[in-house]
């Protein structure tokens, strides 16, 4: 569904996504794209949607070259960016103008989500708060029924009740025919949704694993004494002790904390990559 081979991209002389970036995503998953500020997450989303053009390598999405912006490609993708502009039109005017671009747009789903998100349909979009605008775009994106949904920091600007609401709505929208790629720093907001986990660092994909395989190789432990963490892959001080990630040598069942996993991969990349190269 999405295949990236040897991708090269730079802003001027500053390399963001450089030679030999490879990525393959399949249908039916909610991928979490994680990385530090400036790692290239938003740039990658823009390349996958045809808003930026690769300077080398090959990018295929749904058997299309995104840079060509083929209408048959565009009707099957929807991007909700972190920063956006909405015109000074009503919800209904926007729906009338843009829904026809998506052949499977479901007006019933759109109406249901507007009610659930409490979006006033008569107000002009430009008069809505940032959080309301974000909820409107999420509702419209889900109603398109497109094959790939790209979300860049979708929970930014949402209050706590709406974040919960968003997770429930997005979970109900997952299907075997749709792929969702979420770029986020708000890992705890997305923890029960995203799987597999992709980590981008210094212009390279350094981790791309589902949580089931990750839990077979890694285990999370809590220790009271720092000396007990000497052999762990990564540890963080917490109230009353230390939370650690280490090799799962005994096949223990353990739920992986994604934020801890991210920090472990960033700080101990080579050891963790070596573990995933080994047969379990």
pLDDT at position 29: 93
pLDDT at position 96: 95
- Strand order across the beta sheet in which 30-34 lies: 77-80, 148-152, 179-183, 30-34, 197-201, 204-209
pLDDT at position 123: 84
Residues of the chain short of pLDDT 50, as ranges, are none
pTM: 0.92
**Tokens 């990349």 correspond to what residue?**
269
pLDDT at position 172: 87
pLDDT at position 196: 95
Report CA 40 to chain centroid distance, whole Å: 13
Tokens for 237, please give them. 């001080």
Conformation bin of residue 151: beta by default, left when phi > 0, alpha when psi is -120 to 50 = beta
70 by Cβ neighbours in 10 Å (0-12 / 13-18 / 19+) ranks as middle
**Tokens 């000497």 correspond to what residue?**
230
pLDDT at position 206: 92
H or E, element range at 277: helix 269-277
Tokens for 146, please give them. 């497109």
For residue 184, give Cα distances in angstroms to 70, 140, 164.
28, 20, 16
* DSSP state letter for 14: E
Alpha-carbon torsion, ordered 154, 71, 51, 15, to 10 deg: 110
Alpha-carbon torsion, ordered 54, 204, 277, 177, to 10 deg: -50
pLDDT at position 275: 86
């Amino acid at each position: 569904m999405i295949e990236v081979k040897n991708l090269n991209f730079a802003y001027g002389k500053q390399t963001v996504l450089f030679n030999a970036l490879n990525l393959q995503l399949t249908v039916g998953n909610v991928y979490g794209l994680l990385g530090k500020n400036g790692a290239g997450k938003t740039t990658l989303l823009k390349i996958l949607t045809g808003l930026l053009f690769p300077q080398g390598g090959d990018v295929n999405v749904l058997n299309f070259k995104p840079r060509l912006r083929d209408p048959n490609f565009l009707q099957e993708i929807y991007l909700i960016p972190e920063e956006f502009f909405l015109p000074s039109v009503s919800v209904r005017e926007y729906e009338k103008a843009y829904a026809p671009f998506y052949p499977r747009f479901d007006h019933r789903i759109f109406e249901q989500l507007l009610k659930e998100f409490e979006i006033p349909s008569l107000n002009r979009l430009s008069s809505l708060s940032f959080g309301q605008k974000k909820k409107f775009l999420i509702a419209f994106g889900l109603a398109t029924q497109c094959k790939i949904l790209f979300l860049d920091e979708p929970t930014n600007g949402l209050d706590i009740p709406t974040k919960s609401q968003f997770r429930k709505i997005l979970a109900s929208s997952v299907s075997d025919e749709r792929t969702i790629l979420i770029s986020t720093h708000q890992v705890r907001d997305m923890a029960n949704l995203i799987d597999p986990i992709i980590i981008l660092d210094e212009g390279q994909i350094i981790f791309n694993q589902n949580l089931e395989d990750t839990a077979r190789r890694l285990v999370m432990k809590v220790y009271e004494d720092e000396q007990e963490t000497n052999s762990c892959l990564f540890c963080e001080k917490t109230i009353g002790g230390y939370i650690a990630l280490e090799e799962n040598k005994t096949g223990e069942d353990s739920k992986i904390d994604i934020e801890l996993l991210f920090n472990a991969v960033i700080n101990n990349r080579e050891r963790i990559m070596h573990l995933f190269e080994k047969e379990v």
